[in-house]
Structure formats: structure tokens, C-alpha cells
Structure 1
């Protein structure tokens, strides 16, 4: 078939070139052959040629069961081709008809749990820098949970322009830090929650150095991923044979535009949350004003918090997380968890909430912690009560006007 996907993936592709690469005769012949499976064997995948030749050599013919299997593959091939064309030309992201096509990347040992089967599929024309396209420099192939956690770590570390380290455990960022020195930011990210970091996924947005590799091999982690690795770092990692090393390539921002979630009887589709907060987006609502350092930490927390499960509360200071309370059904419980995780380190820090505070109890919970600023979307009918509580305790607070739930 004409290489429509390859042609349209080029930056200089215009509509004329796209139209030129739509095959008409090819799909027609493939479908005709597939329909006549009673008499015809159709092969659309060169990987099947050997099996066909072997069957002919052994039996002198192609069995009906084989022809039926090849026919199904042929219809899938043309359906995928048409889906790629449909998605290229449709004008709306969330159109009346929604279809995606994927190609199997690999069979997985099992799914999320050992009693579930699983496989990984990739976008058919996907050439982006991501987990499925990563170069596994060391270690066994990735499991279902490895892929989920590594993708979450990659999505979070892509948020930052400054050198960053993200450590993820069970799809939540348990430690994140930014700075100038990659060894220092790894150390700060790890110390943010060293207990949870055990067995986690470590992600960098900079080349991983031998100094960092030496530190990482002193603890147990599942995966280290980065755009690239120093040769000496790879040699050091060889000491940990079960450690998986993923070289992603020169990635920038997240390339996926839509998120798809399965529900019983259908799917939910939404745009990927890529909203960026800036200082002028923050509305100061308390008598006490936040410092410049507070604002910088607040904007840092936003980039991390939207990658944590709701209800989410994140405390950060000096460009590093110090306490995360995630996945709680009660917001005040998430506050208590973040305080417990952060301990004395929360003093002088910024507390961010992924949604508004329905009551002042969360502010009452932090009154003696030394937290200097709170950031939240606002929008509760009790906003004024929450503002009053901050004023009582001498805590500054800003509203973002934007929620960042993650389910």
C-alpha cells in the first residue's frame, strides 16, 4: 500500500502530498482476495511468507484455517490503513466517530496481576520518543506495571526545562527535584521519600552520569530512564543485572494529545492536561503576600501534582518535593499524609492542593507546621472561611482558578 503514514509524518507534508499517498487499488485487491478466502490465500505481512511456504512444501496446499487467519489479518490491515487516513483528515479531536489503530509491540508475561494476561500495543505510525520506543540498554523486558510506572515518570520529568529527577512508585511521584547538578537533584528527589523510592522508577531529563549511576546502584530501584547515558554509567549499572536501563532519546514535551480510558461498554476520551501555570495566573487572596521563592515553589508543585492521584496534596520547598499525600478519598487525610511524609522539612514550604478545600480543616491541620504558603484552585462555597483561617495563622494563599484532578 502507498506509505500514507510515513508521508504524513514528515514536517513538510501538505494536503496534496497526503492525497497522493492514499492507495485505492491496493486495498481493493486485498479486500477482494480476503473475501474469497474459500479459494484464495492473501498475505499482507512479509513475516508470514515463510509459514506459507512451509505449509505448501509440507502439505501441497494452504488449509482453510490458515486462509481464514490470513484473511482476518488482511481485513485488519486495510482497516488500520483507513483509520490512519480518517484520523489525519478529521477536523475535530473529539469527532462523532472515534477510532484508533495500534500494532502489537510485545506480549507481556502477565497484566497488572499474575492472573491477568497482557500485551503492549503501540501507535502504528509512532516514531516518538517514549517508553515503547526506548532502547533497553540492560535488563529483562518490561512488565505491565513497569511500563505504566515508567510512562508516568517520563510524563512528569518532561514537565521541566531545568535539569530534573523524578522517582515514581505505583504511578505516583514520590520524589521530584530540579536544579543544576544532576547528582544533587537525584539525592534530593530520593531523600524526599526514601522509603517509597525503594523499588521505584528513576527518571532524568538529562544525560545520566557515572556519579549518579554509582549512587543509584547503592539502593534497589526497578528502572532508570534518561535521554542518554555516559558509557561509564552503563558499566556501573552492569553490577545490578536485574536493573532495567531505558535510553529514551532526545525527548521534549509529551507528544500524546489525547487520553483514552476504558469503561464498561465504551471509552472516555479527553485532551491530555498540558496547561501551564504562570505567576500572573495566581490570585493572592490573603493579607500576607507570598515571597518570590514561594511563587517559584508553587509553580514547581503544579507540574508535579497533576501527575499524582487525587485527592492530592503536595508540599515542596527549594525546588524539591518534601511530602506527598495522594489517592486519598478525604482531602484533609491527604494533608495529614503529606505532613507526616515531610516531617520537619515542611517548614517554610509551599502546600498545593489539586482541588479546592471544602472546609477550613485542612488549614487548621497545618497551622503549627511552619508552612508559609498554600496554593489551591478556589471555588468552594466556603472559600472565605479557608481564607480567614490562613489569615488567622499568618499563611499566604493563592488561587489558581484551575483544578488538576487525576483518577
Structure 2
């Protein structure tokens, strides 16, 4: 028995009318009867097509500002009736229900409505009811009904019908049904997320997440893993970053590129461009050098000095418009990605000489204080938490040692803690004069992080020809408290003179005593920045 299903009647009801006239005309040329609603009916009628208004099909007028038009048995019966089922076909004959073989619907633009910051009333009016109901009905009955929710599928449907004497194949109908259910799921997720945000609710009994495909990726973290990038619905002020980038040049972005670029840009967003230029160099989602300076060139040179070996093949993020001077320096070594709010024409031309280097312009900087949600999959579920939007400038720093930090130490302590927020735990960051000079990331013990950071600083000193590593006379930040004094003592050995840490350990006093014995200044933030 053939699984091909001929299309004799189509119902078209679209919000986005791009391409609908050409598609409908092609359907009519294939002998398909057209039924339509409201604005779509008028569009097709004005184009000279023979089309039946849905009110004529149902015998019931559209009403309540169009809220009620397709929620009718003659629509849903036509979509849901099982072909070849005697009971269904008898009911259809009794009630004058005609089969609908093709449904074309794209939904009210809810996501675009919230993106433009519409009022509550306008946003509610852009929640589609009849559209999702029809889509779900047609998708359930995909054994007989073809459902189209994306204009990109007009051509494949026509191609199939022309190749199969006006019929569609079961394989095509199944793929389109899966796509349709994914669309309604993402649509409902956008609505529920927006409503919860308006209400300020967090740990809700059910939570939906959805997105639209932005890019199919060659593979994931490793070649044997599949990957894709989906964009979620954004409000009136979308967060600048990987979802807003405009790629000017370079190879296609990979999963790892996107992940690392997101980490880099979130970090550099901590630095207000009106106050200072800042540059972050990222490798495997961890910074290998971060610095601020009077301009991007100075900041980049300081950031690079922290770990020039690891910077090779890294991601460079800038908090200001990329200029020619910085661009010339950055392209001297192999770099995977440069991301900035914008770039000058001269800088673009300089980067263009490196054809594989991706230049991404995000159009703005992410606000580190803005709320948001982070989702991580675990076996059998999802872990959901709010974004870490605590910023050191808003923290009440408490001096806990006999010696208070100097003004310069305090400036560098804030800088170091700002960076530590974006380093994988356990985290130790040495900083001096507005630049990282040693970073220890992702170790199982904090003392190991302190020693690795010092070792990398020693390597950088040898590469730079310096007499002593820059950790001498630096400050040090820890993302969480020191559980024992050994981690602090390792920082003392490296040459640190001041410490910033959250505090809160049962052995805080032991650590404070060790700091006093070494002549260190230490401040507690009361805020932890674990990043796993």
C-alpha cells in the first residue's frame, strides 16, 4: 500500500506572508483547492487566486478580533479525520466536513513582539491560539496530512508533489511533523519564560526551554559528537554576545569557538569601556591573560605577557571598538577569534589579511549585573540557576588583617576578583598594575592552583627576559575561601602582598593569622564565585 498522500485541499493561515503568494499559486497550478483566513485570504485574493475564506468553510464568522476563526470542527475534523477509517469518514459526511490535506501556518510573532519591548496587552494579543491547535492536529495526523510551519519548506513540498503526481511522501510528512511540534514547543517555551520573568518566579513546577536553530555545527567538542547552536527568544534588550554577533570574515565557527568566545566576551564585559580599555585572551574557556589599559593595544600587550604560550590559538575579546593599532598586534600570532563591540574600517582591513581569522562584532557589551539563567544538562534532567551577576564594585570589602591594602593594592584586588569570577574553580589569580600575571584554573586543590599560577608566571618571566616573575609584589584573588593556610602561604612564596577572598571557612582565623605573620593585607568579599 502506498504511503504517498495526494494533496487536494490546503488551508493557509500565515502571519509572515513572505513567499506565500508564489507557494499558493504553485499549489493551485497542481490542482489544490485553497482555503484561507483573514489577512492571508485577502493577500491571496488580491493576488488573483481562487481561494475560499475559512468562514465560508465553517459557516461561522470570524469574531472577537480574530481570536475565534479556526477553532471549529470543520477545520479540526478536516485535519484529524483518519483516512480510510469508516467511522471517521461517516462522521465527516454527516457533518459536511471536508478533508484538509495540507496545513500552512506560521504563528503570531510572539518572539518579535517581546523583542521590541511591547506592552503587556500587545504581547498577550500576540499569543497564537488557533495556529498551535491546528499545527498539533495536523502533525498528529501526519499519516495523511502535510504540515508546514516554515517558509523554507515551501520548495521541498512542491518538489515532492511534482515528483509524486501531487502527493507527498510519508518520510517528508514525518519530518515536517517533527519540525512542527518543535516549533510549537519553542513557541510555548518563549511564552511561559516571558510570563515567569514578568512575575519574578524562579523554581517553577515545570520549566520549558526552547530555541531556533542559528547554526548547524560540524561537530561538538570532539569530532564524534554532533552539535548545533540554538538561539533563545530575547526581550527588548538582547544580551550582546555570541547570539548577536555579525561575522565579518573567517572560517565557520565551531562548537568550541562559540563556547570559548562566550566565555571571553562575558569576562571582558566586566570592564566598563568608559573607564578603561580591556582585553581578555581565552583558551578552553579559561583566561590565559586579562588586562586593562589606556587603550586596547596597551591592554592587549599586558594581557599577552601573562601567558604568551597559551595565547597561541586563543580567543581575543575587547571591550571597545577594535582599532588598527590593536589589530596589527593581535594578528602577529595565530588567533582563532577576535570579538569586539565594533571595529574601524582600517582594523577590518588588517584582520582581512588573515583569511581564517574570525572577526565577530557583537554590537555592544553584556551587562555583568543583568539577571539571566544558566542551564546545564545532567543525567535525566536539567540543572538551572541564575547567572552569577555579582560584581566586585558593589561588594562591601572587609579588611580582616592588621594591615589594610594600599590604594594600588585595592585597585588590583578588585581587578583580580573581577577576573577570578570567570576562571574555572579552584581559582587563583595573581594581578599587578591592572593585568593578570599568573592564573591557576580548575585544580582539585586550591594550593595546586596557587602553585601552578606561580609556575606559569615564572615561565612568562623567562620568556620575557625578566629578572623576577611579575607575581613579586602582586596581589592574589581566590574565588572561594582558603580552607587551610597552605594555599595562602603558596601565594606568599610567589610574592603576593595582598589577598582578596570570600571568607567563610571554619579556619578563617588560622588563615588571617598566617596573613598577618607574613605582613599581608587581606580583604573578605562575602561573595563566592565558583565556576564549574
Place the TM-score, normalised by the shorter chain, in its bin: over 0.9
The C-alpha deviation readout for 1:382-405, integer Å capped at 9, x for no partner, is 111111111111111111111111
SS at match of 2:310: helix
Shift of 1:132: 3.5
What is residue 266 of structure 2 aligned with on the other side? 155
What is residue 284 of structure 1 aligned with on the other side? 399
Matched, 1:311 2:420: no
Matched, 1:59 2:174: no
Tell me which of 229, 232, 253 is aligned to 1:142.
253
Contact 2:266 2:366 in 1 (8 A): no
What is residue 83 of structure 1 aligned with on the other side? 189
Tell me which of 463, 480, 495 is aligned to 1:355.
480
What is residue 104 of structure 1 aligned with on the other side? 213
TM-score by length of 1: 0.95
Shift of 1:87: 1.4
Matched, 1:241 2:355: yes
Decide which structure has the larger Cα Rg and report it. 2
Quick one: higher RCO (CA 8 Å, sep 6+), 1 or 2? 1
Q: Identify if the C-alpha distance between structure 1 residues 389 and 72 changes in structure 2 by more than 3 Å, giving closer, same or farther.
A: same
What is residue 70 of structure 2 aligned with on the other side? none
The C-alpha deviation readout for 1:43-66, integer Å capped at 9, x for no partner, is 111111111111111111112222
What is residue 465 of structure 2 aligned with on the other side? none
- Structure 1: which 5+ runs fail to align? none
SS at match of 1:93: coil
Shift of 1:77: 2.0
Tell me which of 437, 441, 446 is aligned to 1:326.
441
Q: How many Å separate the matches in 1 of 2:478 and 2:529?
A: 9
SS at match of 1:133: coil
Contact 2:412 2:432 in 1 (8 A): yes
Which has the higher mean CA deviation after the structures are superposed, 88-97 or 331-340? 88-97
What is residue 121 of structure 1 aligned with on the other side? 230
Which has the higher mean CA deviation after the structures are superposed, 2-11 or 152-161? 2-11
Contact 1:325 1:334 in 2 (8 A): yes
Matched, 1:30 2:163: no
User: What are the residue-to-residue correspondences of 1:7-406 with 2, within 5 Å?
Assistant: 7-11=113-117, 13-60=118-165, 61-90=167-196, 91=199, 92-125=201-234, 128-161=239-272, 162-253=276-367, 257-278=372-393, 281-343=396-458, 344-406=469-531
Contact 1:311 1:326 in 2 (8 A): yes
Q: How many Å separate the matches in 1 of 2:195 and 2:452?
A: 48
Which has the higher mean CA deviation after the structures are superposed, 344-353 or 147-156? 344-353
Contact 2:249 2:357 in 1 (8 A): yes
Shift of 1:134: 1.1
Shift of 1:194: 0.8
Contact 1:102 1:124 in 2 (8 A): yes
Q: How many Å separate the matches in 1 of 2:329 and 2:495?
A: 32
Q: Identify if the C-alpha distance between structure 1 residues 267 and 252 changes in structure 2 by more than 3 Å, giving closer, same or farther.
A: closer
TM-align CA RMSD: 1.7
Q: How many Å separate the matches in 1 of 2:471 and 2:519?
A: 16
SS at match of 1:33: helix
- Structure 2: which 5+ runs fail to align? 1-106, 459-468
Q: How many Å separate the matches in 1 of 2:221 and 2:184?
A: 32
Shift of 1:120: 1.4
The C-alpha deviation readout for 1:124-151, integer Å capped at 9, x for no partner, is 4575422133111111111111111111
